[in-house]
């Protein structure tokens, strides 16, 4: 009972000390310029003051070493708690910054997708606009790469602009265009020893008896699948004719040079692997007739064919001089 007045006096001194402390930081707490910092301090204040007050009261009324150790532990935990709160707040700010960056990247991605979709729409529109021309180009030059077909079609349009713009054609201009393009097929000719072959041509073979051939495409249209066939009568033995890349086809039955009787023939075929552009010349591997053959002359034929080109056959007389 005798200690009660002393305890009340000590509590009164403690309250006075707290009031003085509160007055000293009052300006800091209510200054608008320090509002942000004050908010952070107020969040940490209860975490620091409450354990500190408990430790103070405990130390004042206890001299036990264990109690002091516990007080020190509480003070350490209080400090650790304050540090942890600071770390949590820092991490929260970092998370907010990362969230903002993610939002910015999502916005950029959205814009990129929108731009890509816009470009795709434009590309589709352009392809639809060219669809009819592409079909037209394919129909007229089936053996040429598409880009070259379109170039060739453009050149054709430039050459035939009057056909497309002449008002007299009216709604039939496209039909006329298709008909005209269809008529412009590859036009191929076969030359033998620099002589243009026709039915009834006579070719004079020199001492070496070499047959030099070439194909000329005089049209603007390209072609492929080029083939040249050489047919000679059975009297010309298969061993008497040779040439690189010529393939013997064996015996065949055909009409002789009189056009009346069946006769045996030997055939040799030559093929070209690549495309033959318009306005071009394609050399053909030569043929050699053996000098062992004693005939003064013989009739033979050449056949020329290619994709979309009209097949041609030439009856030729070979004369040895």
307: number of Cβ within 10 Å:
16
Q: What tokens does 116 get?
A: 């890509």
Radius of gyration of the chain (CA): 52
Question: CA 41, 44, 49 angle in degrees (round to 5)?
Answer: 110
302: number of Cβ within 10 Å:
20
Q: Identify which of 58, 28, 308, 82 has the alpha carbon closest to the alpha carbon of residue 186.
A: 308
Given a cut of 60, whether residue 266 has pLDDT beyond it is yes
Measured distance CA(27)–CA(34) in Å, rounded: 10
Q: Identify which of 81, 14, 93, 74 has the alpha carbon closest to the alpha carbon of residue 47.
A: 81
pLDDT in tens, 232-252: 888 888 888 999 999 988 665
pLDDT in tens, 133-179: 566 555 554 555 656 666 666 766 666 666 555 545 445 555 666 66
Sign of the torsion angle spanned by Cα atoms 79, 29, 43, 48:
positive
Average pLDDT of the chain, as a whole number? 75
Q: Which residues pair with 204 in a beta bridge?
A: 319
Q: Identify which of 295, 294, 264, 270 has the alpha carbon closest to the alpha carbon of residue 282.
A: 270
pLDDT in tens, 305-320: 998 888 999 999 999 8
Pairing of strands 201-205, 312-320: parallel
306: number of Cβ within 10 Å:
24
Q: CA 162 → CA 22, 159, 168, 169, 291, distances in Å?
A: 101, 8, 10, 10, 58
CATH code for the structural domain at 188-320 = 2.60.40.10
pTM > 0.85: yes or no? no
Banded model confidence at residue 258, pLDDT cuts 50, 70, 90: very low
């Amino acid at each position: 009972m005798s200690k009660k007045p002393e305890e009340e006096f000590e509590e009164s001194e403690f309250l006075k000390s707290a009031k003085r402390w509160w007055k000293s930081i009052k300006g800091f707490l209510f200054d608008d310029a320090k509002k942000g910092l004050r908010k952070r301090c107020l969040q940490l204040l209860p975490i620091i003051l409450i354990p500190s007050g408990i430790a103070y009261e405990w130390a004042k009324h206890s001299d036990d070493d264990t109690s002091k150790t516990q007080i020190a532990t509480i003070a350490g935990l209080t400090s650790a708690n304050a540090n942890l709160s600071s770390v949590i707040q820092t991490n929260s700010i970092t998370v907010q910054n990362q969230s903002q960056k993610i939002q910015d990247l999502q916005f950029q991605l959205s814009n990129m997708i929108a731009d890509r979709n816009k470009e795709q729409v434009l590309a589709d529109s352009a392809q639809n606009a060219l669809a009819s021309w592409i079909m037209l180009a394919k129909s007229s030059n089936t053996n040429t790469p598409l880009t070259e077909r379109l170039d060739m079609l453009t050149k054709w349009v430039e050459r035939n602009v009057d056909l497309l713009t002449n008002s007299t054609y009216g709604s039939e201009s496209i039909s006329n265009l298709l008909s005209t393009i269809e008529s412009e097929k590859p036009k191929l000719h076969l030359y033998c020893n620099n002589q243009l072959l026709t039915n009834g041509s006579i070719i004079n073979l020199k001492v070496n008896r070499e047959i030099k051939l070439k194909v000329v495409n005089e049209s603007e249209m390209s072609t492929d699948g080029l083939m040249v066939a050489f047919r000679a009568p059975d009297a010309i033995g298969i061993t008497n004719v040779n040439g690189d890349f010529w393939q013997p086809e064996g015996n065949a039955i055909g009409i002789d040079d009189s056009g009346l009787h069946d006769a045996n023939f030997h055939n040799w075929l030559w093929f070209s692997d690549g495309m033959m552009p318009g306005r071009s010349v394609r050399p053909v591997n030569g043929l050699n007739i053996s000098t062992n053959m004693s005939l003064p002359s013989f009739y033979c034929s050449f056949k020329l064919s290619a994709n979309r080109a009209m097949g041609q056959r030439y009856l030729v007389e070979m004369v040895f001089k």
